[in-house]
Every structure is written in C-alpha cells, then in structure tokens.
Amino acid sequence: MTAVTDHPDPAPSRDTDDASVPRIGGTDGVALIDASSWLDLDPLVPLFDEVPADPYVEEGFRYKAISRIRIRGTEPVVGPHEPLYQSLEYNPVHGDIDRRYAPLTDAMVSAVAAPLRMFQVAAHLPQDEEVLVQVQRVTTGTAGDIGHPAVEGFHQDGVNAICILLVDRVNLIGGQTLVSTTADGQTLVFAGELRPGQFLVADDRRTYHYTSPVWDTGTARGHRDVVLFGWPSCRRPADGESALPSLGSLRTHRTRPTFREMSGGFLIAKANGGARGWRRGAANGAARG
Ligand SMILES: [Fe+2]
C-alpha cells in the first residue's frame, strides 16, 4: 500500500515535463506527489475564504467553485462555464443533475495553474486537454460537528483520472484520504492524512476514493481546503455521447503510455540521477492518521 512519505529527495524539478514527477500506473493506479518543499501555496491559501457555499450540501459544511481549464503553453485558459455533471451511476448523491457553481476567480485560476500542470504530467494527459478544477473547502462546526469531505462514501468520479491537492488544514481532526481498488474500500492502495502541498493522483477507472469525516479540535471552527482535478471535465454529454473518451481516441492524442499500458509499479522519482523518494509500496514510511 502506498503511504504518505516524507518529501522525496531530491525534490522534483519545477519543470513538470521532468521525469522526476511520479506518475500513476502499475497495479495500484495511484501516486503521491509531495511538492510541499517547492510549491508556493501562499497565493492560494487566502482565496478559499472567497469560495461560496455549496448549495447542494444542505448542512452547510461545504464550499465550492469550479472551472474547466486547459494549459496552453504555460498559460491557463478557462473554458465555457457550465454545470458540473456526473451520472447517477457514479454519484448516488448528486448524480444526473446539473450542479451550478460559481467559476473560479481570476486569482484562483492563476494560482492553480502550476498544480494543474503537475496533474497533467502525473496522469499522462496530453497538453491542451481540458481539466475540471474544483476549489473546495469543508468546514467543521465548533462543538464536535462533523464535516464530510466525501459525502458519497467510497466512490469514483466517473472520469479517467483524478487528483486531490491538499492546500490547508486548520483546527481539525480527521480527514484521512483512502484509495481502494474495490468499491467496498477493503482493498486499500493508499491511506494517509495529506499534508499541504501533497497531491494524490489516481486512475479513476481502477480505484475508488474517499476522505473520512473531519471535526473541530475544540478551539475554533476548522476547515480543510483542497483543489480537485478531474479529467475529462464532467460536462453533461450530448445525447448519445459517452461521458468518457474511448481508449482508442485517447491513444490518438497520447504522447505517453496509457494507464493500462503501464506496468511494473510506480515510476520511481528520479531527478538528477537520484532515485530515492517514492517507490511502489510503503518502503519509505508508515501511513499517518
Ligand atoms: Fe470524488
């Protein structure tokens, strides 16, 4: 099982085309990227205070804004704003409905561009591919009230690849992220409490993900702030269209191997000839949380 590890040594290059970025593949379909030592989260952290309440979570503990963004060259380009759509097959709570959220602000779009490029590389996405970007805060109450980062339980998003970037955790307990290769959550390939700057990237076709509830520390209202990436970008498919591109059409665009073509476990982090850091399995540390 993949566990949260200390950040790799040497750290991955800022050049996201560098072979140092771990990629999802192999049998587990999940990879952890720890960018906490170099990814500047300072521009992103305060922007979560501007995220509007999620009108589809009546209890009021979730806040969410979404945009579809592609990277052209090095610049983020925002696509037409449309509702978030997932089929009932994948989302029993909010499936088959158009969920209308506010778009990311310009400052948010700018701040998520570098993490988005990391996701593109880690998930083998072609350049210029549109990605769903969700900026999401889950709050606790102040008297033991619980927040649920994943109201669906173990689930798939109904896409090809997903990513969770943990931006901030304040005054809260819990929030362990779990990834299983079975829907009952019994076959874990990742379990850990993500820290700021850590990305978890997963092949959504082969894995189910979940984050456990969060509650306050008894001192103040807590919150957990994440950026979620998903590809394809969860637009409502036109009549008769599949929500997912076929593997055949993916191959015509790919310059990197598909998930299924990967074998032999994780690609090991390599930078400047080094090969320490992430390895398949829990070689570098025990799971936290
Ligand atoms: Fe999800």
- The top-scoring range by mean pLDDT among 14-18, 104-108, 253-257 is 104-108
CA 84–ligand 1 middle distance (angstroms): 12
Residues 46-103 have pLDDT tens digits of: 999 999 999 988 888 899 999 999 999 889 999 999 999 888 887 777 878 899 999 9
CA 156–ligand 1 middle distance (angstroms): 6
Judged against a pLDDT cut of 80, whether residue 246 lies above it is answered with no
Query: Residue 229's pLDDT is what?
Result: 97
Query: Taking every pair of C-alpha atoms in the chain, what is the biggest distance, in angstroms?
Result: 54
Instruction: Please list, in sequence order, all residues whose beta carbon lies within 8 angstroms of the beta carbon of residue 13, skipping any fewer than 6 positions away.
Output: 20, 21, 271
CA 157–ligand 1 middle distance (angstroms): 5
Contact between residue 176 and residue 149 where contact means Cβ atoms under 8 Å apart: no
CA 74–ligand 1 middle distance (angstroms): 27
CA 9–ligand 1 middle distance (angstroms): 30
CA 95–ligand 1 middle distance (angstroms): 12
Indicate whether 188 belongs to any domain: yes
CA 271–ligand 1 middle distance (angstroms): 31
CA 113–ligand 1 middle distance (angstroms): 20
CA 91–ligand 1 middle distance (angstroms): 9
Indicate whether 12 belongs to any domain: no
CA 10–ligand 1 middle distance (angstroms): 31
Judged against a pLDDT cut of 60, whether residue 172 lies above it is answered with yes
Least confident of 114-123, 195-204, 205-214, 263-272: 263-272
CA 224–ligand 1 middle distance (angstroms): 15
Residue 250: pLDDT band by 50, 70, 90 thresholds? very low
Provide the residue range defining the domain that includes 135.
26-252
CA distance 105 to 115: 16
Query: Residue 244's pLDDT is what?
Result: 56
CA 263–ligand 1 middle distance (angstroms): 25
CA 39–ligand 1 middle distance (angstroms): 23
Query: Residue 25's pLDDT is what?
Result: 64
pTM, two decimals, is 0.77
CA 210–ligand 1 middle distance (angstroms): 7
Indicate whether 286 belongs to any domain: no
Contact between residue 109 and residue 75 where contact means Cβ atoms under 8 Å apart: no
CA 268–ligand 1 middle distance (angstroms): 26
Name the strand (E) or helix (H) holding 165: strand 161-170
Residues 96-128 have pLDDT tens digits of: 889 999 999 999 999 999 999 999 988 988 888
Query: Residue 149's pLDDT is what?
Result: 82
Query: Residue 146's pLDDT is what?
Result: 80
* Angle, CA 8 vertex, CA 7 and CA 13 arms, to 5°: 105
Indicate whether 124 belongs to any domain: yes
CA 155–ligand 1 middle distance (angstroms): 6
CA 276–ligand 1 middle distance (angstroms): 30
Q: Which residues are found with C-beta within 5 Å of the ion, ligand 1?
A: 157
DSSP secondary-structure letter at 28?
T
Query: Residue 77's pLDDT is what?
Result: 96
Q: Give the chain's domain count.
A: 1
Residues 17-49 have pLDDT tens digits of: 455 566 766 667 899 999 999 899 999 999 999
Contact between residue 230 and residue 202 where contact means Cβ atoms under 8 Å apart: no
Domain CATH for 140? 2.60.120.620
Query: Residue 74's pLDDT is what?
Result: 83
117 phi/psi in degrees, rounded to 5: -65, -35
CA 285–ligand 1 middle distance (angstroms): 26
pLDDT mean across residues, the chain: 76
CA 273–ligand 1 middle distance (angstroms): 35
Indicate whether 88 belongs to any domain: yes
Indicate whether 271 belongs to any domain: no
Indicate whether 283 belongs to any domain: no
Query: Residue 7's pLDDT is what?
Result: 33
Indicate whether 195 belongs to any domain: yes
Four-CA torsion 197, 200, 114, 284, nearest 10 degrees? 60
Judged against a pLDDT cut of 70, whether residue 278 lies above it is answered with no
CA 151–ligand 1 middle distance (angstroms): 9
Query: Residue 95's pLDDT is what?
Result: 79
